A and B are shown apart, each in its own frame.
Chain A
Amino acid sequence: MRVLGISCFYHDAAACLVEDGRIVAAAEEERFTRKKHDASFPSNAVRYCLAEGGVGKGERIDAVAFYDKPLLKFHRILETYLAIAPRGLRSFLHAMPLWAREKLWTEPAIRESLEQIGVVAPEKIHFLEHHQSHAASAFYPSPFQDAAVLTLDGVGEWATATVGLGEGASLKLLKELDFPHSLGLLYSAFTYFTGFRVNSGEYKLMGLAPYGEGKYTQVILDKLLDLKPDGSFRLNIEYFGFLDDLRMTNEKFAALFGGPARQGESEITQRERDLAKSVQEVTEEIVLRMARNVRTETGQKNLCLAGGVALNCVANGRLLREGIFENLWIQPASGDSGGALGAALAAWHSVLKQPRQVSGPRDAMQSALLGPEFSDEQVKEFLLEKGYPFEELDADVWAPKVAQLIADEKVVALCQGRMEFGPRALGNRSIIADARSPRMQLVMNQKIKFRESFRPFAPAVLEERVGDYFELDRESPYMLLVAPVKEERRLPKQGDEGTLPVMEWVKRPRSDVPAITHVDYTARIQTVRADSNPRFHSVLKAFESLTGCGLVINTSFNVRGEPIVCTPEDAYRCFMRSAIDYLVIGRFLLDRRGQPVWQDAEQHTFID
């Protein structure tokens, strides 16, 4: 039996195919359309998933599951307008035409789109609650037979956070916090106020936090929310604009924090740094209180996390270090795209009442490598057709060659194997480089990623060597845990760091692997195992043989504002638009210096 999961119409549209309970394929639509956070119906992702599952045109899918309940969401929006009238007029004028035109007609839109693709949809389309989809995405693929489940995000229909209990194939949500009291929205409000883009800039805010001090932590706790010992809270909505305006915060919020919101691209001041640190501290406090409460109430030793807030890997690392739960598993696609996967699995287990098998200590996510893969024949055909010069590497020299390039301080882009599902690149659509190089962080940020350079890069480390570099005693295959760099690898601070501008501070080396060490001596870790991604593991292993270093920088293969690459064509385009030295597509190596002059109106200007 095949179940198709779909999430779309808000942000991060995605599709997922589950066959007999096994995840066959999953992909975000943005990777195909090249529009970041694309919210439209995921026609391309559905086509891909069906192709991967061997579903031909005209064939019937056994079940289709959508990741939320649109009418319940509409109800929440209407009730919000009722509660705040007449203040929400501007937002109402913005939202209603969209709802009347598109969002109210989700079911017919799904049917019509599937029809256009050539799929025969079943009679009924299943609509799971937003947080039910998140919870299912966290529990069902986890390696646990039983676990407590915590979901945290901006908002679904009404719920903004839920606590659930998973036992075998059964998953029950026990309690919830309702809109407008949302941890995700609180974090997004600060994202907006510090000048970053809501729904995508939250990572930047988290990356900025170590540069600041928690000067506003108590102000946030005193004025913006009422936090109970069990982690539940209410926001003081007088300070927020998301109910009645198109902005996240209002004048009262600005007055509380000493002036208007920072405008994007303007200089980051001490205030933004301190706000980032403060809201991060509050977030961690809420997550810890919730986790303690969940542990007490469910008695479970395992916790599964999902929802956008679960991508806050600093909070995740803290949760792990506090030792509230023995085991923690976080869905790698914790945002809305993961809702497609959750909806499909929830339909399989909860609606179709199918049993669940937990096989051994590994999860069912297949290392999140659930997207398209391109054969060597396809890649060669593409390269020959386009006339791009390349070198074909034999299997036995492939990894040593790539490792040698990295050791020579070259930046190498990898496009090999199945594309990752979720926001992190885990070695198959990655840019990798030598983390020991003191100049690498700056070079990669400015010349390749075209982004603010205060953000650290993540390390991909051999799982067996993780203890040599970090204070982490377990695997972190999805780059969702932040842990401290080992004490003995750190370089002492000079004492004046707090007074330095962000751009100056970031240039100071902080450890013997400076490119991946944040200013607070932490790193966002990906551990790599030979059985989960053998090719990427072989590169790390070869690099270790050459240099003795068991880790490399791993950042997503894209430039600022673009989705991660999917096809060889995307990879080549991104390679030529940036200053990446070498591109590896499957077993083929491309040297920038030998490539024809790139004609592209959108070519980026390099910053020296």
Chain B
Amino acid sequence: LIWNWHPAPVTPAPARSPRRQLVREVATALAVSAVTWLLGWHRMSVAALVMSGVMLAGLVFAPVQLHGLLRSLPRVVGKVATVTVLSTLYVLVFWPLGLIVRGGASARFRRGYSASAETYWKTRTSESSPERPF
């Protein structure tokens, strides 16, 4: 049996290859983005587009990270760099896209109430497949 009530000695997690991990993560994310894009579902497409943007930034940063440039920077510089990149991404991608979709897809976030609506329950029309994580 693999569980014992006496505390088990902590085994360190096996060392990961940063290159392999980065490649795997970026590839998986791009594949997921592509699949969701192809689904043609409007809201998911928007999400996929944004995800692609995030991953693009990841791609740019991957070689930098691989060559250890970020690691050699002092911690505070690394944090500033991360915040700068994410802030830029946010302003460039989210704000304009947000403005575009706010009228349509994001009705659930609209302020105010619908006095004429009889109910806010949303009927479920289909069951999502447990075969996939979305």
A266, CB-defined interface residue at 8 Å = no
- Among A47, A79, A180, A234, the residue within 8 A (CB) of B46 is A79
Q: Determine if B133 and A127 form an interchain contact, defined as CB atoms under 8 angstroms apart.
A: yes
Beta-carbon contacts under 8 Å, B46-94 to A? 46-47, 50-51, 54, 58, 82-83, 86-87, 90-91, 94
- Among A75, A83, A233, the residue within 8 A (CB) of B109 is A83
Contacts of B113 in A (CB 8 A): 226, 234, 236
Q: Determine if A82 and B98 form an interchain contact, defined as CB atoms under 8 angstroms apart.
A: yes
B34, CB-defined interface residue at 8 Å = no
User: Complex: how many Å from CA A128 to CA B133?
Assistant: 8
> Least Cβ distance of A10 to chain B in Å?
15
Q: A75-B43, A108-B24 are in contact. List 9 more A-B contacts (CB 8 A).
A: A78-B47, A84-B98, A85-B95, A92-B90, A129-B128, A177-B122, A234-B114, A236-B112, A237-B111
Nearest residue, chain A, Cβ from B97: A82
Contacts of B51 in A (CB 8 A): 74, 78
Q: Determine if B87 and A69 form an interchain contact, defined as CB atoms under 8 angstroms apart.
A: no
A243, CB-defined interface residue at 8 Å = yes
- Among B4, B32, B122, the residue within 8 A (CB) of A175 is B122
- Among B32, B54, B105, the residue within 8 A (CB) of A79 is B105
Q: Determine if A92 and B122 form an interchain contact, defined as CB atoms under 8 angstroms apart.
A: no
Name which of A97-105, A275-283, A359-367, A518-526 contacts chain B. Answer: A97-105
Name which of A51-59, A312-320, A485-493 contacts chain B. Answer: A51-59
Contacts of B106 in A (CB 8 A): 79, 82-83
Q: Determine if A56 and B124 form an interchain contact, defined as CB atoms under 8 angstroms apart.
A: no
Contacts of A108 in B (CB 8 A): 24, 28
Binary B-proximity of A145-188 (CB < 8 A = 1, otherwise 0): 00000000000000000110000000011111111110000000
Q: Determine if A177 and B120 form an interchain contact, defined as CB atoms under 8 angstroms apart.
A: yes
Name which of A116-124, A541-549, A580-588 contacts chain B. Answer: A116-124
A258, CB-defined interface residue at 8 Å = no
Beta-carbon contacts under 8 Å, A346-399 to B? 346-347, 350-351, 372, 374, 378
Beta-carbon contacts under 8 Å, B1-47 to A? 1-5, 7, 11, 13-14, 24-25, 28-29, 32, 36, 43-44, 46-47
Nearest residue, chain B, Cβ from A86: B95
Beta-carbon contacts under 8 Å, B111-134 to A? 111-114, 117-124, 127-128, 130-134
We find that the number of chain B residues with CB closer than 8 angstroms to chain A is 59
Given A56-B2, A71-B133, A74-B47, the answer on whether A228 and B118 have CB atoms closer than 8 Å is yes
User: Complex: how many Å from CA A47 to CA B109?
Assistant: 42
Beta-carbon contacts under 8 Å, A76-112 to B? 78-86, 88-89, 92-93, 96-97, 100, 104-108
A50, CB-defined interface residue at 8 Å = yes
29 residue pairs of the A-B complex, CB under 8 angstroms, read: A44-B3, A47-B3, A51-B1, A55-B2, A56-B2, A65-B130, A69-B132, A70-B133, A71-B36, A72-B133, A72-B134, A79-B101, A83-B98, A83-B102, A84-B98, A88-B94, A93-B83, A93-B87, A97-B82, A126-B131, A127-B133, A177-B122, A181-B108, A226-B113, A226-B114, A230-B118, A232-B121, A234-B114, A351-B130
Beta-carbon contacts under 8 Å, A197-240 to B? 226, 228, 230, 232-234, 236-238
A567, CB-defined interface residue at 8 Å = yes
Q: Determine if A82 and B46 form an interchain contact, defined as CB atoms under 8 angstroms apart.
A: yes
Q: Determine if A180 and B128 form an interchain contact, defined as CB atoms under 8 angstroms apart.
A: no
Contacts of B133 in A (CB 8 A): 66, 69-72, 106-107, 127
Contacts of A47 in B (CB 8 A): 2-3
Nearest residue, chain B, Cβ from A80: B109
> Least Cβ distance of A321 to chain B in Å?
25
Binary B-proximity of A432-443 (CB < 8 A = 1, otherwise 0): 000000000000
A48, CB-defined interface residue at 8 Å = yes
Given A181-B120, A234-B120, the answer on whether A243 and B95 have CB atoms closer than 8 Å is no
- Among A65, A97, A232, A567, the residue within 8 A (CB) of B119 is A232
Beta-carbon contacts under 8 Å, A10-35 to B? none
Q: Determine if A100 and B58 form an interchain contact, defined as CB atoms under 8 angstroms apart.
A: yes
Beta-carbon contacts under 8 Å, A260-308 to B? none
Given A78-B50, A104-B29, A237-B111, the answer on whether A54 and B86 have CB atoms closer than 8 Å is no
Q: Determine if B2 and A57 form an interchain contact, defined as CB atoms under 8 angstroms apart.
A: yes
Given A65-B130, A181-B108, the answer on whether A82 and B120 have CB atoms closer than 8 Å is no
The 10 A-B pairs of least Cβ separation, nearest first, read A51-B3, A71-B134, A47-B3, A85-B98, A232-B120, A83-B109, A226-B113, A83-B106, A126-B130, A82-B98
Contacts of B43 in A (CB 8 A): 75, 79
- Among A86, A128, A172, the residue within 8 A (CB) of B91 is A86
User: Complex: how many Å from CA A162 to CA B122?
Assistant: 9
Q: Of A50, A89, A176, which is in contact with the most chain B CB atoms at under 10 Å from its CB?
A: A89
Nearest residue, chain B, Cβ from A231: B121
Q: Determine if A93 and B121 form an interchain contact, defined as CB atoms under 8 angstroms apart.
A: no
Given A85-B98, A92-B86, the answer on whether A69 and B58 have CB atoms closer than 8 Å is no
